[in-house]
Structures are given as structure tokens and as C-alpha cells.
A and B are shown apart, each in its own frame.
Chain A
Amino acid sequence: MSPITLILIALGLGLLGWLAGRAKAWSFQTGDAATRPASRPIYHAWYVALWVVMPVLGFVVAWSVIAPQLVLQSVLASPAAESLPAFGFERDAFLGEARAVALGQAPGVFNDEAEALIAPFRDAFAHYNTIGIIVTVLIAIAGGALAFLRLRPQFGARTRVERTVMMILLVASLVAILTTFGIFASLVFETVRFFGMVSPVDFLFGTKWGPDTMTSASSVDPSRYGAVPLFWGTIFIGAIIAMIVAIPLGLMSAIYLTQYADPRVRTWIKPLLELLAGVPTVVYGYFAALTLAPMIRDAAVAVGITSASTESALAAGIVMGVMIIPFVSSMADDSMAAVPGAMRDGSLAMGATRSETIRRVLFPAALPGIVAGIMLAVSRAIGETMIVVMAASPAANLTANPLEPMSTVTVQIVKLLTGEQSTDHPATLSAYALGFVLFMVTLALNFIALRVVKRFREAYE
């Protein structure tokens, strides 16, 4: 039973409870000031409705996790499941096929072995669907009845409803903590498992990267898990090439648009530049891989560099830099706007030209903010995935030649996790270790950048 059906049932019953609660509360209204009810009827209505819907939602969330397991258990307990292979890929495939047919998602099975499992699956689904609906309705009725019977003229429905609303708001904001915790926990958990097989020293300082997904998990060669070439590739593409493109272009665009350009021109050009940030990264990746990379390769070959590759770090880096331009320019824009106008006017009054004022007064004053903006841009560039997945190479390469292929952390994460391999293999787990490093580095960059921005903002106030 899809959870959506159960939620719809709960909402329907909640509406009934709402109407019943309001009807009962209306009867409390006497028009006599001495016996005036404590709350308006609408709050009684909401009180009943919340008591119907909230417990049911809790049940539905739990049930949608538990029910598939229960179904699986009962299918495996049926006589038809005895002929299944003990474990592994085939077993999962048969079970999956039979489940899909039983749910009506697939017209038939490919493997005959799965045929016998369809009936047990159908029975189990029917059985647990009935249980799910009955429990949902029972919980809803019990909650609603409990709330309904408590309604009295002097009952403080509003206080309780408002307290619940506050609880809901608090829970909503806890989702952010839960997500942060979830990211942290899942990354740390898998990373620790990985470090049980490959030592952190080999991983962080080794210079050869080539995880072999075909080897058995027990015979790990730690020397193949040296991530230094990946870190170097990430830094080279994201922090060096991309920034060589993005910093001058972003800064000069911001300076021109804020200091020189006609306001009417600015209102048109600024959103146009912001479009660069709104283009999906998969489009940039496509552009880098199919248009820019061959152009760079041909140009390099034309000047006699035969080692040039179509998967060069240069193409990915340049396109990434273009993507980052609006990011740098809007940060520079903000921090220059935060410099007090008196400083600029003072410099101009002393006879400095505009460019001298910008270079000697505005820019140094805005420097902390600009540096923070660049750090945020770097953190964005090193976490960027699609451009490098499409334009950079899967082969890790420790070189300083931008025309050679190079791989990054994000490319390897995608490469290691999109194949078919077991979740216990060190190659799979190393993707989480890479993710953990990426997470910590970007977090540190963001944290420092936000600190710098905050401190800088206060300096002039």
C-alpha cells in the first residue's frame, strides 16, 4: 500500500474530525458573556484534526519502512521461496521481478524461477495492506475520539493548538540538523570501514590511484589507494585554472558594472551575467566536452604539442571558471558596496583618478570580503561534479601540464559508485572517504569565509 493512500485516508478522517470538533464547539456558544467559551470554535476543530492526523502520520512513516521488510519475511517464509538461491545478485533479481509483477508494475517475469514467488508476494501485499489500513483507521478514530471527548466550553483548545504549532515549527527546523548529522554519520561510518582496510596514511599521502573493483575485498593493495593525484587534480582544475579565469573576469566585471557603467546598462548586464550561474552544470559539461575540449586539443596540436588530450584539465577548468564568474563578481560587488562612500569621495577629492581610487582605496578596503568570496568560489569549484565528470578524465594523473588528462575527487566518487559492485569493497568505500575529505575541505573553506565576511562587515559600522 503506498503511503500516499494512507496519508489521504488520514487527511480525510482529519477533515471529518475538524468538522465534528467545530460543530460541537459551536454548541458551546451561548451569547452570554459569563459562560463564554475559552477558545473560538476553529481551535476546537483544529485540536481534533491534529489529534487525528499527527499520530497517523507517525504510523505511516514507520509503516512505510517496516511493511516492505514484513512482506519480504512472509514471502521468504512461504514454501515457494525454498528453491531460491541462497543469497547474492540472482536472489535479489528474482525477488525484485516477482515483486514488480505482484504490484502490477511489470507485465511479466524474465526468469521462470520468479514466477512461483508472485502469488506469495500478492498474498503478503494484500495481507499487510489490510493491516495497514485497519491500523491507520483505528489510530485515527482513537485519536479523534480522545480529542473530541475532551472538548468543553472551558477547554483551552487554542493554547494546545498553538503549542503543537510551535512543536511543528521546531521539528521542521531540526531537519537541517538531522541532515547535517546524516551526512556526517554516513560519511564517517563508511570512511572508518575503509580505513580498516587501507591505512589513512596510504590514502592521504600515496601517489598512485587505481582502485581495482575486480579484486576480492580481502586482498587489498593499499598502494593503489593513494589519493594525492586526485587532490592535486581537484586543486589544479578547481582552484588554479578555474580561478585564473574567474578572478580577473569576475573582479573586473564587478568593478566596471559598479563604478563605471551607466545604471541602465547595469540593470541589463547584471542579470545577464547571473544567467551564467543559472545554467545547469550538465550543460557546461556538455559544452566543455564536445566544443571546448576538441578546440583546445586542435589548437595545441597545431602549435606542436602532440601530447594534448581531449580530456585535458584545461577545458574543464576554463568552463568551470566561466561558471564561477557571476559568483566572484557578486561577492566583489557586495564587499565594495560596503566600503563607506566617504573613503571613495575623499580619494577622488584629493585628485586621484577613478582607477587609482579603485585600486588603492576601494580594493584594499574590500579585500577581506573579496578573499572570502574567492574562498567560497573555490569551495564551489572543487565540489563541482558534472563539468569534470563529462570533460575531465577518469585516469588519475600527477602532472602540472594542463593539456594532459587529470582526474578529480568528484569524478572518482561518481565513477566508483555508479558501477555494480558490492558495498563492502574497499573501492566502493573509498568513494565515501573521498566524499568525507571533500566535505571537510569545503566546510572549512565556507566556515573561514563566512567568519572573514562577518568580521569585515563590522569594521565600518
Chain B
Amino acid sequence: MSSIPMSETAPAPAAQPLGPTRTPAFEQRLAKRYRAERNFKRLGLGAVVFSVAVLVFLLGNMLMNGIGGFQRAELEVTIDFPASGITGDATSLTAPSASQTLEMQGLPDVVTFFAEEQVGKDAAAQISPEAWRDVAAALAEDPELVGRTATFNLPVSSALAAGLQAEGPAETQALADRLAAEGKLARNWDWGFLARSDATSPQSVGIWGALKGSMLTMLVTLVLAVPIGVLSALYLEEYAPRNRWTDIIEVSISNLAAVPSIIFGLLGLAVFLALFPNLRSAPLIGGMTLALMTMPVIVISGRNAIKAVPPSIRDGALAIGASPVQVVFHHVLPLALPGMLTGTIIGMARALGETAPLLLIGMRIFVATPPEGFASPATVLPMQIFLWSDEIDRGFVERTSAAIIVLLAFLLTMNGVAIYLRNKFEKRW
């Protein structure tokens, strides 16, 4: 413009070439805004770190406590069978009645006798009264033992076990210290924890009964929920006409997925137990109740898996003359199956950890033997944790944490398998 040469006489407008914005006040404001930005980011990071820390603390806490739960205090006792008068051969010792025969031959007294001889009367009194069953089990496993001298690690009473951990009365602690110093008393890995069932003493409990109950219950849930869930997902996604009926079905499925689990317990109590009053606390009823709870989850994930199958595959099959049923069962279903499987595993993992509905249908009973079948009284792993948590005995706290570790290990494995399957079968068309 023509005014440019005149700028020498009119310096004012060009005197601030950096613009009017970078004033000290602006700088201050900007610094404040950046500070707010950093704080906001830190806040976010803090939330993530806190949540992860809680998870780590929770798992760490269970792990620390639970490691002790896989151990038990055991007293070392050597039994000289030829001198004890216990007799038997391979057939009698492996027979189902062997433990009764051995009891009649005086095995409990033999165990007490050798224990008194080796560790003293006061220590022998602390051996668990059921300890001879461990000896009987060892004899059943290896009948040759009866002609030899053998050393056993026998469980002791809860009091002595507590004494070993510097708890309880001073005299038991002193006794435990003496025996530990002699190398007779020690906390050993207790693999029997995975093989026994519920009992009244923390020294002799195990989780096999609950684990087996969980497996039977899950089997019922699987057999009921998966076919129903997959078939209704197929119907709703592939065939259902858009009318009021299918709308009602859809709404009830999405509602069921959000109903609190305890309401399913009320349903099981009011309907299933009214129909089958003899099956109280049986895996069959538990599985049926959990199946109703799991089914909507499977339907919803199944529909997503079916939606992901591209329409061109359906069109291609229809074009060469397949019927709608053939299209779905020969083409869509096999392609959607991995996705459905993933949803199924996640739904089953939820059902495996569920306790509230089972509490209402009576699975909160003491079951000392593993369930025989689908109709016999059983307990499940989460319920066993709940029942043990009522026992404030120190030994039960450790055992409960150990049971939680087993449960979490199962759930993590299931979720891990689901993630692996999702990654392996994920397809992009």
C-alpha cells in the first residue's frame, strides 16, 4: 500500500510486532493453564495407579495369606509295622473296607503308641484324632509298607499348629518350639488340601468337595445355557421377523442380563425348589438357576458374533440354492462359533464365581464328602469360601485365602483362554 513509506512518521501500529497477546498477564494465564493441564493428567494417572494398586494389594494379600493355607503343621512319627501287630496283604489293604479293618486292628492306638514313644505324651495328645486315616491311606497305596518301618508326617491339632506360629497359650508355644527344634514338627506342603473335603478343623479341610460341586454345577449350566443361548441368538439375529413378539423377547433378554443375581436365587427358590423339593442344594438346581442367569450373556455375545459374519457369505450360499436353515447351520454358525465360544467362556466364568443365588437355594450347607452326582447335596467353591470366612479361626483364614487362590486361578485361566481364542480366531472380512 502507499502508506508503507510513511511508516517512519507513524511508528505506533508496528511497534509491537509480536502482537498484543504475549502480555505478562497472558504468560501467567498460560502457565496456569499448563499447570492445570499437568495436574489433570496427573490426576488421571493417579486414578489408574490407584486402581491397579488396589488390585495388586488385593491379589497380593490373598497370595501372602494363601501360601500358608497350602501348608499344614505335621509331626514326624515313625511306625514299625512288624512290631505293631498290624497285618494285611495287598487285597485286604486296598479293599474299600480296609480303613474299617485297620481301625478294628487298633491302628489309631498304634499311631498314638509310636507317637508317645518318639515325641512324648504331651505332643502325642496333639496329634489330630483322624491322623491314622492318613496312615491307612498310605497303606492302601503301598501295601508292602506293612512289613517295614515307615515314617509319616501326621497332622496335628489346630492348637499346636497355632503354637508353631507363635500364637495361642504359652505352653503350647513352648511345646511347638521344642518339637520344631528337634526337627519333629514342621509346616509342610499339604497337597491333600486339593484332595479332601470340608471338615470342622482347619488342619484337615480340603477343597476337592467344593471343586467337584463347582464342576458338576457348571456342567449343568453349560448343558442348559449354551444350547438355549446359541439357538435364541440364531433365531433373533437371523430369522426373527420384526414384530411385537420379538421385541418383547429382545427386551426381556436385555433386562435379564441386568437383573441382580440374587433375584435369580429368589426365582430358583420359588419355582425350582417348589417343583423338586428333594433336590435342595443339589448341583442340578444350582446349575439350572445359574443357567437362567448366564443365558442372556451368551445370547448377547452370540448375537454380536453372528452380526460380525458378512452378509456376502449368506448371499453366496442362498445364491447356489441353500435354504435359510442350511445357510445358517452350514455357513453362518461355523464362522460365528469362535466368537460365541468366547462369550460363553466369559459367561461361565461369571457363573463360576457367583454365590448369591446359590445361597438362597440352600447350597450353604456343610458337606463333608464330595458330591456323588447331580442330585446329591453339594457345595461350590465360592460358597466354600463364604462358609469358611465365618470361621474366624486363624487356620481358616489361611485356608480361605488358599481356596480363593484356587478360584482365582480357575477364573484367570478361563478368561485367558477366552482372550487367546478371541485373538486366534478374530477375523477381518
| Chain A residues near B (Cβ < 8 Å) | 2, 4, 64-65, 68, 96, 99, 105, 158, 162, 165-166, 168-170, 172-177, 179-180, 182-183, 186-187, 189-190, 248-253, 255-257, 259-261, 269, 271-273, 275-276, 278-287, 289-291, 322, 325, 353-356, 358-359, 376, 379-380, 382-386, 389-390, 410, 413-414, 417-418, 431-432, 435, 438-439, 442-443, 446-447, 450
Contacts and interface: CB of A to CB of B under 8 A. Distances in A.
B356 A183 contact: no
B204 interface: no
B364 A442 contact: no
Contacts of A175: 228, 232, 292, 295
B48 interface: yes
B52 A271 contact: no
Interface residues of B, number: 88
B319 interface: no
Given A180-B252, A413-B262, A417-B360, A322 B51 contact: yes
Contact of B259 (A65, A168, A443): A443
A340 B136 CA distance: 72
B138 interface: no
A186 B372 contact: no
Nearest to B55: A276
Given A179-B252, A355-B36, A280 B407 contact: yes
Contacts of B44: 252-253, 255-257, 259-260
Contact of A186 (B61, B271, B295): B271
A162 B40 contact: no
B262 A383 contact: yes
B201 interface: no
B48 A176 contact: no
Interface of B: 33-34, 36-37, 40-41, 43-48, 50-52, 54-55, 58, 61-62, 227-229, 231-232, 234-236, 239-240, 248-249, 252-256, 258-264, 266-267, 269-271, 275-276, 278, 292, 295-296, 299, 323-325, 329, 349-350, 352-356, 359-360, 362, 364, 372, 374-376, 382-383, 385-386, 389, 397, 400, 404, 407-408, 411, 415, 419
Contacts of B232: 169, 172-173, 175-176
B47 A256 contact: yes
Contacts of B33: 353, 356
Contacts of B255: 180, 443, 446-447
Contact of B256 (A179, A261, A290, A353): A179
B341 to A, nearest CB: 18
B404 A286 contact: yes
B259 A170 contact: no
Contacts of B386: 282, 285-286, 386, 390
Contacts of A251: 47
A182 B359 contact: no
A271 B51 contact: no
Contacts of B383: 282
Given A253-B44, A255-B44, A438-B263, A172 B227 contact: yes
A256 to B, nearest CB: 3
A417 B239 CA distance: 42
Contacts of A358: 40
A177 B234 CA distance: 16
B297 to A, nearest CB: 12
Contacts of B359: 385, 389, 414, 418
